[in-house]
């Protein structure tokens, strides 16, 4: 009778319902994937926006890391002029080692250093738009912009206590009475066209560019309040590498020009060995 047919249909329907329920729970039924449900979009935001937000966060974290690394460890520095030719060329990105003088070491004769010239080469610190200045400082810290007008790169010729004189009868600079054979000076340049005789005060440096005819250095600031010397605590770091352009990848060459220079005693005689690179 119809009662049996109705019972059979009801049983089939119940079985299909159970299988469907089982499939929804186990994730093995038609239309199921691997048993995981697709993640819901956060707060209704489109997935593309979330991707860009994550990318931006990662990019910002990288920039912050580079700025911190540049501030404390190794800073790129764009060479803006020809004052250090042939050692450094216009447009070179040098890598300045900020840890070189952090643990008791001090600049040595022959080192190429970057320093803040405020108070020695520049008497007043320049002022401007603070926002623009901040952006410029960030770009300069990454080597993407020219350094501040107060930053300079030069070679250390004399350290505290040294007597530096120009020039002897052969036209050479002497340090503590010893002539210095400066192989790094630009070909055709004199060691200096300006005569000078100075005893470098303790805690300061006498610095000069390698391209002597194109360098504004300690010689040009002798009559100013700073006396042409640079305080050691104004040194940013030592230029150790040329990082850009690719064709100029190299270390900044060391020199043994000061290896035989003794320490100056101030009494007409010199004692001890120099601190130049051996």
> 19: helix, coil or strand?
helix
Active site residue 33: no
- Tell me how far apart the alpha carbons of residues 94 and 243 are, in angstroms, rounded to a whole number: 6
Q: What is the C-alpha to C-alpha distance for residues 257 and 278, in angstroms, rounded to an integer? A: 9
Residue 105: φ, ψ to 5°: -75, 155
Cβ atoms within 10 Å, residue 177? 14
Instruction: Please indicate whether residue 213 is annotated as part of the active site.
Output: no
Half-sphere exposure of 277 (CA within 13 A, CB side): 14
Say whether 158 sits in a helix, a strand or coil. strand
What are the backbone dihedrals phi and psi of residue 139, each rounded to the nearest 5 degrees, phi first? -65, -40
CA 51 from chain center: how many Å? 31
Among 154, 192, 215, 234, the one annotated catalytic: 154
Cα atoms in the 13 Å half-sphere on the side-chain side of 235: 31
Peptide bond into 167 cis (omega under 30): yes
User: What is the Cα–Cα distance from 169 to 150, expressed in whole angstroms?
Assistant: 36
CB atoms within 10 A of CB 253: 12
> Which residues make beta-bridge pairs with 238?
97, 113
Distance CA 70, CA 188 (A): 36
83, 120, 215, 218: which is the annotated catalytic residue? 83
Q: Catalytic residues, which ones?
A: 83, 154
């Amino acid at each position: 009778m119809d009662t049996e047919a109705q019972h059979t249909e009801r049983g089939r329907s119940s079985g299909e319902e159970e299988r469907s329920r089982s499939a929804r729970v186990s994730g093995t039924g038609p239309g199921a994937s691997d048993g995981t449900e697709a993640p819901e979009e956060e707060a209704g935001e489109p997935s593309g926006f979330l991707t860009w937000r994550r990318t931006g966060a990662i990019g910002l974290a990288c920039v912050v890391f580079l700025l911190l690394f540049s501030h404390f460890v190794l800073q790129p520095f764009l060479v803006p002029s020809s004052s250090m030719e042939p050692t450094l060329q216009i447009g070179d990105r040098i890598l300045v080692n900020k840890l070189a003088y952090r643990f008791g070491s001090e600049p040595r004769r022959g080192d190429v250093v970057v320093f803040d010239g405020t108070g020695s080469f520049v008497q007043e610190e320049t002022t401007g738009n603070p926002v623009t200045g901040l952006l410029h400082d960030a770009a300069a810290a990454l080597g993407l912009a020219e350094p501040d007008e107060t930053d300079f790169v030069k070679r250390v010729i004399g350290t505290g206590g040294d007597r530096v004189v120009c020039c002897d009868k052969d036209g050479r600079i002497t340090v503590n009475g010893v002539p210095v054979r400066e192989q790094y000076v630009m070909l055709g340049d004199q060691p200096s066209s300006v005569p000078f005789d100075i005893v470098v005060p303790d805690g300061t440096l006498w610095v000069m560019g390698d391209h002597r005819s194109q360098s504004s250095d300690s010689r040009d600031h002798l009559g100013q309040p700073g006396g042409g010397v640079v305080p050691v605590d104004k040194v940013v770091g030592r230029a150790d590498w040329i990082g850009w352009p690719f064709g100029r990848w190299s270390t900044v060459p060391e020199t043994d020009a000061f290896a035989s220079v003794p320490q100056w005693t101030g009494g007409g005689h010199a004692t001890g060995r120099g601190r130049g690179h051996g």
